[in-house]
């Protein structure tokens, strides 16, 4: 347990040292919040759906978590190419503990990113039904972050080339985000699109955040949590399996 904690802390320190990365990763969520939140706000309100900025904010928070979490997998490739991963793998620590420590560290970083986006959203007008809901909201963020950090770790463990990782992740990230209901309601969708959104794990994370923050979830909150936990366990198992297969 102590070794997992050390690896978790190492990931956090690495992230906090990269201040430009923290600031830069806020640019895209801020663009979505302002351009879409205010740009489509009047149209959404005229359609009788209410405040679009408030509807959009949980989706943009999830986007910030998704991008940060899934790209932590590239650090495995980076460490492998520069020999840092070899130093860790030859230590007495089991590879499973190494993978769990890195994943928890990456998930914590992604959750912090989500909290930063949430604070920015508050500045521009995002409001909650109950401010006490911030605590369960952060826990939901951490669950989303763990899921996609485990996915990034799994993919990073299978690849040796950073360009290949970026291509695969870009191929995955944009469909995962745009088909999650982050930008549009899940009610009244065409049957095919409805099926696709149900297959997208981020849909349950976004819907869970909306349920916690606004009380307007499409699915039941317990359903969202159960599905997210199940998929997270699956990705953790797959990630640990492929991480153990890394050759040094």
Say what the pTM is: 0.87
For the chain, the average pLDDT equals 80
* CB within 8 Å of 81: residues ≥ 6 apart: 160, 162
CB 130 within 8 A of CB 54: no
Q: In this predicted model, what pLDDT tens digit does every residue of 14-26 receive, in sequence order?
A: 555 555 556 666 7
Please state the domain count of the chain: 1
Q: In this predicted model, what pLDDT tens digit does every residue of 89-98 receive, in sequence order?
A: 666 666 777 7
Tell which residue, 1, 53, 5, 46, has the closest CA to residue 29: 53
Q: In this predicted model, what pLDDT tens digit does every residue of 210-237 receive, in sequence order?
A: 999 988 888 889 999 999 999 999 998 8
**What does the pLDDT read at residue 173?**
85
Which structural domain range is residue 116 located in? Answer: 2-244
The owner of tokens 């599905």 is 227
User: DSSP per residue over 11-51, as a string?
Assistant: HHHHHHH-HHHHHHTTHHHHHIIIIIHHHTHHHHHHTT---
Q: Looking at the predicted structure, is the pLDDT value of residue 138 above 90?
A: yes
**Distance of alpha carbon 226 from alpha carbon 229, whole angstroms:** 5
**What does the pLDDT read at residue 30?**
83
Over residues 49-68, mean pLDDT: 86
Angle formed by the axes of helices 95-123 and 52-70, nearest 10°: 150
Buried b / exposed e along 27-46 (16+ C-beta atoms within 10 A) = eebbebbeebbeebbeebee
Over residues 126-144, mean pLDDT: 90
CB 77 within 8 A of CB 160: yes
Buried b / exposed e along 123-138 (16+ C-beta atoms within 10 A) = eeebebeeeebeebbb
Over residues 93-120, mean pLDDT: 83
The owner of tokens 């990630």 is 239
């Amino acid at each position: 347990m102590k070794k997992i904690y050390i690896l978790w802390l190492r990931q956090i320190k690495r992230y906090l040292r990269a201040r430009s990365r923290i600031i830069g990763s806020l640019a895209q969520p801020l663009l979505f919040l302002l351009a879409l939140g205010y740009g489509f706000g009047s149209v959404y309100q005229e359609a009788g759906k209410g405040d679009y900025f408030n509807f959009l904010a949980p989706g943009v928070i999830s986007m910030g978590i998704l991008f940060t979490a899934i790209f932590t997998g590239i650090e495995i490739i980076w460490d492998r190419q520069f020999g840092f991963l070899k130093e860790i793998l030859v230590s007495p620590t089991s590879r499973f503990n190494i993978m769990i420590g890195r994943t928890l560290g990456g998930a914590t970083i992604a959750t912090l990113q989500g909290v930063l986006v949430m604070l920015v959203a508050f500045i521009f007008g995002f409001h909650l039904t109950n401010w006490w809901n911030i605590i369960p909201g952060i826990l939901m963020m951490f669950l989303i972050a763990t899921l996609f950090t485990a996915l990034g770790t799994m993919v990073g463990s299978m690849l040796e080339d950073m360009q290949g990782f970026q291509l695969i992740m870009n191929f995955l990230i944009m469909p995962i985000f745009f088909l999650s209901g982050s930008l549009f309601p899940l009610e009244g969708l065409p049957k095919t699109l409805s099926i696709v959104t149900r297959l997208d794990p981020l849909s349950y994370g976004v819907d869970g955040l909306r349920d916690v923050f606004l009380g307007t979830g499409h699915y039941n909150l317990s359903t969202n949590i159960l599905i997210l936990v199940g998929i997270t366990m699956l990705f953790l198992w797959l990630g640990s399996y492929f991480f153990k297969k890394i050759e040094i």
